[in-house]
Amino acid sequence: MERIGFVGLGTMGASMAANLARAGAPLTVWTETPGRAAALSSLRARSGSPAELRRLGTSYVVCVSDSPDVASVPLRPAGVAEGAAAGSLVLGLLDISAGADRQSAAAWRNGAVGM
């Protein structure tokens, strides 16, 4: 089964990641909020750095709160998108502007950093 990298463990993201882990999905999670990932360890979700998510995952779920977070979390230098494998599947569960969404998609496609 394909390993999933999950970015963003806020209220919505933590619940979604937990459901994926309960379903048996091999999951590596990353969040900037200390302590959020620890709650998923009992479900066998692995906590990792952005570099580990890139190395281990070929599918990514991004669940962050707004346009600035999309730019500062997965798309920043050394973020998850930088150097992600070509052909990676990225599911953005985002509440952002259409322009920011297009920029995010382009950055993931190009392995680019920043928006």
- Residues 11 and 30: their CA atoms lie apart, in Å, by 14
Per-residue confidence at 23, pLDDT binned at 50, 70, 90? Answer: very high
Computed over every residue of the chain, the mean pLDDT equals 81
Entry pTM: 0.82
pLDDT tens, residue by residue, 33-83: 878 899 899 999 999 888 888 887 778 898 887 777 776 766 777 777 777
**Residue ranges covered by each domain of the chain:** 4-110
Edge-to-edge strand list for the sheet holding 46-47: 46-47, 27-30, 4-7, 59-62, 89-92
Return the CATH architecture of domain 4-110: 3-Layer(aba) Sandwich (3.40)
pLDDT value of position 114: 42
Higher pLDDT, 84 or 115: 84
